[in-house]
Amino acid sequence: MISVRLCGFALFLILLTSGCGSSANDQKLPVVKADGTVSIPDMDTSGLSLVFIPETENSPNGWTKVGPDGKFEVSTYESGDGAVVGTYKVIVSGGEGPMEEDDPRMARIPAEFKNRTKSSWNVEVTADPESNHFDLKI
């Protein structure tokens, strides 16, 4: 009796986790390569996290971790894959360390560049990857 219940429960879990309909991959919007640099006076920006917040409600955020020399590649679904075509506000969301907000550099970044409604970093990702290079400066 226990093995029948156990098998029934296992079957229920399999059906529950398999879902129905289309997979998440079928719902992904196409992305276009986008990259750039970020510079903040007297600061090594490597390791800072940037978030690209779309103006379009149904588009996913883009994100990146700034590399050496302030360079970055925008990611949406996978590392470096790009962003959905559209207009974005860009903010600094954190730095390095166990808790990103504990990075001492965060205190030196003006609040405007950490606020999704106030950031003056506005970028437009187009269908042409050659035009999707952004130089973000404070």
| Rounded distance between C-alpha atoms, residue 54 and residue 59, angstroms | 6
Cα 55 from Cα 114, distance rounded (Å):
17
* CATH fold of 25-137: Immunoglobulin-like (2.60.40)
Tell me which residue has tokens 């999704």: 116
Contact at 8 Å (CB) between 97 and 103? yes
Q: From its phi and psi, is residue 23 left (phi > 0), alpha (psi between -120 and 50) or beta? A: beta
Residue type, 131: S
Two tokens, residue 59: 């588009």
Kindly report, residue by residue over 84-130, the tens digit of the pLDDT. Answer: 999 999 999 988 766 666 788 999 999 999 999 999 999 999 999 99
Does this model's pTM top 0.75?
A: yes
Number of neighbouring beta carbons within 10 Å of residue 90:
23
